[in-house]
């Protein structure tokens, strides 16, 4: 009997139809076992296809690691605080620290070679030139200059010994050196005639080569200046630590 007619007959007679349930063959496995076997088959096929898909993309090129160059040159700028030394103020006849230039626009140039090389570090030798100048001119309320300008100059040449950590794409370093330094404070345009005194410096920094031959360079250095007597043109000075934070570019 068709299903629709059997359903109408059941609804009219209020007795359920005598439809026999669906029977599976005796040797057919349970439905849950069949689903597990299908999932296992699909997973196996996917794992077999992964190597083929990866090989179709071609071999992955290894990342090139450049060695540290044999020579590097630096050009940096800084604006260090040079202080308001009481001995210098007295030599210049100044009573207020506001009448003293307390910072100096400074440029640093250096060249370094790396002859001794090990897998974890490289030893560097080099030389640096530092030149800075601070200027102050007292003025009237109308903007006219009053008296002589006060100038302070900082000049140093030093050899440097450094230990470097990294590769050609960038490296950090610790450095120390020594050389003659002149730190003059005088009235007028100068130049000063103060003596050059052997001065130690120490610090560190890093170079990041964002381009093939040009890097960003940051450096922190402390110069241990010594006291010095006054001369005909230059005021005396006391000893002090000058911290130079500089940034610029490096070339290789």
Q: What is the CATH number for 114?
A: 2.40.160.20
Q: Is the pLDDT of residue 4 over 50?
A: no
The total number of structural domains that make up the chain: 1
| Residue 99 CB coordination number (10 Å) | 17
Residue 65 domain-assigned (yes or no): no
User: Does residue 157 sit within a domain?
Assistant: yes
**pLDDT of the residue at 31:** 56
In a domain, 54, yes or no: no
Report which of residues 39 and 158 the model is more confident about.
158
Position 79 in a domain: yes
pLDDT at 6 over 60: no
The Cα-based distances of 68 to 38, 48, 172, 177, 216 in angstroms read 57, 44, 11, 22, 15
- Read off the tokens for 107: 């440029």
For residue 33, pLDDT beyond 80: no
Residue 114 lies in a domain: yes
Task: Note whether residue 55 is domain-resident.
Answer: no
**Torsions phi, psi for 99 (to 5 deg):** -95, 10
Contact by Cβ (8 Å): 252, 67: no
Residue 228 lies in domain:
71-251
Q: What is the pLDDT of residues 78-120, one digit of tens each?
A: 999 998 888 898 888 888 888 889 899 999 999 999 999 998 8
Is pLDDT at 144 greater than 60 in this prediction? yes
Helix (H, G, I), strand (E, B) or coil at 128: strand
Q: Which of 2-6, 41-45, 60-64 has the lowest mean pLDDT?
A: 2-6
pTM: 0.71
Spatial contact of 183 and 196, defined as CB atoms under 8 Å apart: no
Q: In whole angstroms, how far apart are CA 136 and each of 95, 115, 188, 190, 213? A: 14, 45, 10, 13, 39
Q: Is residue 28 part of a domain?
A: no
């Amino acid at each position: 009997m068709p299903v629709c007619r059997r359903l109408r007959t059941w609804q009219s007679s209020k007795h359920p139809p005598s439809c026999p349930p669906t029977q599976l063959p005796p040797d057919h496995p349970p439905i849950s076992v069949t689903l597990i076997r299908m999932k296992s088959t699909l997973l196996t096929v996917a794992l077999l296809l992964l190597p083929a898909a990866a090989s179709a993309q071609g071999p992955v090129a290894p990342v090139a690691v450049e060695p540290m160059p044999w020579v590097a040159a630096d050009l940096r700028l800084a604006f260090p605080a040079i202080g308001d030394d009481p001995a210098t103020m007295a030599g210049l006849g100044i009573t207020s620290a506001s009448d003293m230039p307390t910072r100096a626009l400074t440029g640093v140039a250096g060249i370094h070679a790396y002859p001794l090389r090990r897998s974890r570090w490289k030893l560097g030798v080099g030389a640096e030139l530092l030149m800075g100048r601070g200027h102050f001119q007292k003025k009237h309320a109308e903007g006219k200059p009053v008296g002589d300008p006060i100038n302070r100059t900082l000049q140093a040449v030093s050899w440097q010994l450094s230990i470097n950590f990294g590769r050609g794409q960038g490296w950090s370093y610790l450095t120390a050196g020594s050389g003659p330094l002149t730190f003059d404070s005088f009235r007028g345009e100068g130049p000063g005639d103060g003596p050059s005194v052997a001065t130690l410096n120490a610090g560190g920094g890093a170079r990041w080569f964002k381009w093939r031959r040009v890097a960003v360079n940051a450096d922190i250095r402390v110069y241990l200046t010594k006291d010095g007597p006054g001369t005909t043109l230059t005021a005396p000075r006391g000893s002090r630590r000058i911290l130079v934070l500089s940034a610029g570019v490096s070339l290789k």
